[in-house]
Amino acid sequence: MLLADAASNSWSWNLLTDFQVMWSYPFMVNAFRAGAVVAVVAGAVGWFMVLRRQTFAGHSLSIVAFPGAAFATLVGVSLSLGYFGFCIAAALVIAALRRGGRGAGRNGNGDGGAQQVGGAQESAAIGIVQAFLLACGYLFTALYKGLMQGPQALLFGSFLGITTAQVTTLAVVGAVALAGLAVIGRPLLFASVDPQVAAGRGVPVRLLSTLFLVLLGAATAEAAQITGALLVFALMVLPAATAQQLTARPGLSLALSVLIGFAVTWLGLVAAFYWPYPLGFFVTSFAFAAFLAAHTVRALGGTRLRSGSRPGPGSLPRPRPGASVRLGESA
């Protein structure tokens, strides 16, 4: 169901009037609130996901949201419980199955071969979990004999049915996820840039990896309730990738990721309210346009939002292919 179906209004180019019209509908107020929460959490967690090159894990966890919602509908419990339960459980299973890959990486001396073995083991574990749970989702959908919320809504999402209780749940889980990310953020950044050096200096790389997967599962479950299981990448990947195109400074890049996610979400809501096209299309299109613009700016020579051409203190290293870079060093 499209948001434009709920109200026959036209865009007037008077922002104050247009927002007053939108916010006169309770479902739109909830939509903007939920969108703001999801955009902030997805932007922050997604930034680390892109930095750690774990987009495949994020994709698989977003797919897991579908069987989670289908199972919750089948047994008659809250959809939010299904989303969060399945995504976080899948994250823990992936972390447990990665032991072989971690062992392979630990036996290496920081060389590329050991990292490739560990990455292959992780990809295999993620693929196993994704394939099995996706099949379970189809099974749960087939077993349900009542009127299930359309598979299209589960896969592509909808702001139209967001309730005040769901907004509260999203806000509470989002606050917990952001607090957890704030606690582990600094050592997680170190472990993401150079895991071998971080482990040598006593950073609990394995524990941080597991904790981050749990946070990724929670963030994916939140975003899936808004964008649907198939369009989570619109908020988890594109804003973070855009921000990292614009600047190498971790703090600024993280803030930009959140701001871009917030902007494309609200712009998508406005567009979907006034024009008869799906919300997911607008959110994804705006995010993709922002990425293309950032990529073009960088290609033309404006690669960072700061003066000067040399990396400044605290910048993220941009290693050459096959090179090993430590924190504090420039490529």
pLDDT per residue, tens digit, the chain (331 aa), is 444 444 456 766 777 777 788 888 888 888 899 889 989 999 999 999 999 988 888 888 888 888 888 888 888 888 788 889 999 998 888 888 776 445 444 444 444 444 444 556 667 778 888 888 888 888 888 887 765 555 566 666 666 677 888 889 889 999 999 999 999 999 999 999 888 898 888 989 889 999 999 999 999 888 887 777 667 777 889 999 999 988 889 899 999 999 999 999 999 888 888 887 777 788 889 999 999 999 888 888 754 445 454 555 555 555 444 444 444 443 3
pTM equals: 0.77
Residue 258 forms part of a structural domain:
yes
19: domain range? Answer: 3-299
Please tell me the total count of domains within the chain.
1
**316 domain residue, yes or no:** no
Q: Is 323 within a domain?
A: no
In a domain, residue 321? The reply is no
Q: Is residue 310 part of a domain?
A: no
- Residue 306 covered by a domain: no
CATH number of the domain within which 174 lies: 1.10.3470.10
Structural domain includes residue 135: yes
Tell me if 317 is assigned to some domain. no
Distance separating alpha carbons of residues 59 and 133, to the nearest angstrom: 13
